Amino acid sequence: MTPQEVAGAWVDAAVAGDAAALRALFAPDCRIFVAGDMPFCGWMDVDAFFAQTAVLPLDGPMVFEIGDTVAQGERVWFEAQSEAKLVGGADYRNIYIFQLQVRGGLIIEYKEFGDTLHIWRVIDDPRTRGTPIPRQPLLSNVSRRLVGNAIAGGGLDT
């Protein structure tokens, strides 16, 4: 399967709730990153990733929509949005960017970026509202490092 086909299979298995099919798409040593500083975020292995998905207490099906997708070499990026009702009645409507690195038909690195403030607001659980974890670096490979005076506190001079 091409990286884009693996990404499509990942979406299909995730939305169907097919944990076995989903797990089969990950390499055993896959590195997984879920952005944010909530207790369930950061770098983790496949087992920890599957354990942290329990933080989402769905009360019925989820609607998951895919937007633009870009594939380059081993990597696939795609945007998505979800909508679901949670146990307790809250509306869950998150937005995401996913990046999957695929080699030999398996995901070897997975990165998920969602709206963690929304998660914090709608999921009252120690795994979301507990003690924050230390910020973890996103980059596995730094290709360029820049130092300078960033635009802050007032914007650009006009």
Residue 151 in domain: no
Task: Read off the pLDDT of each residue in 82-110 and give the average, rounded to a whole number.
Answer: 97
* Structure tokens, 109: 């690195």
Residue 65, domain extent? 3-129
Residue 96 in domain: yes
DSSP lists the bridge partners of residue 92 as 84
Q: Is the dihedral of CA 49, 55, 60, 62 positive or negative?
A: negative
Q: In angstroms, what CA-CA distances link 7 with 4, 66, 93, 107, 130? A: 5, 11, 21, 9, 31
Question: How many other CB atoms are found less than 10 A from the CB of residue 119?
Answer: 21
pLDDT at 54: 80
Under 8 Å between Cβ of 81 and 95: yes
Please count the structural domains in the chain.
1
How does residue 93 score in pLDDT terms, banded at 50, 70 and 90? very high
pLDDT at 125: 87
Residue 157 in domain: no
3-state secondary structure of 146: coil
Predicted confidence (pLDDT) per residue in 29-64, tens digit: 999 999 999 998 999 999 999 998 888 899 999 999
Residue 88 in domain: yes
Predicted confidence (pLDDT) per residue in 55-72, tens digit: 889 999 999 999 999 999
Residue 66 in domain: yes
> Strand 106-114 vs strand 95-103: parallel, antiparallel, or unpaired?
antiparallel
Q: What is the CATH number of the domain that holds 94?
A: 3.10.450.50
The pTM assigned to this predicted structure is: 0.89
